Amino acid sequence: MSSYLEAGTSRPPSDEEKKVRTMRALVESRDRSGKDLSDETIRRFLRARNLDVEKGSSMLVKYLQWRREFVPNGHF
């Protein structure tokens, strides 16, 4: 049985969904705060770099670092 059927979905994951998962793993390995990100946020950065996982994850990690420094308590 295919893994997507075991997961309870009726279709295989799209190329973009696979890239979102790959990018999530990359971001989480570089910055622990990446585990709190939604798929939509990751997808936004992925699309900003034309679905290039490496460029998108690099951009997202830089954003997370900026956010930590600029907004230290998570508030504006």
Range of the domain at 25: 16-70
- Residue 7 covered by a domain: no
Pick from 12, 13, 31, 24: nearest CA to 53: 24
Domain total in the chain: 1
- Residue 9 covered by a domain: no
Q: Are 48 and 56 in contact (CB under 8 A)?
A: yes
How far is C-alpha 55 from the chain's CA centre? 12
Kindly state the average pLDDT of the residues 46-71.
94
Q: Tokens standing for 10?
A: 């009726």
pTM score over 0.85: no
Pick from 72, 3, 70, 63: nearest CA to 27: 63
Q: Tokens standing for 11?
A: 């279709």
* Residues 58-70 pLDDT 10s: 999 999 999 888 8
- Residue 4 covered by a domain: no
CATH number of the domain within which 46 lies: 1.10.8
- Residue 33 covered by a domain: yes
- Residue 27 covered by a domain: yes
- Residue 57 covered by a domain: yes
Residue 71: pLDDT band with limits 50, 70, 90: confident
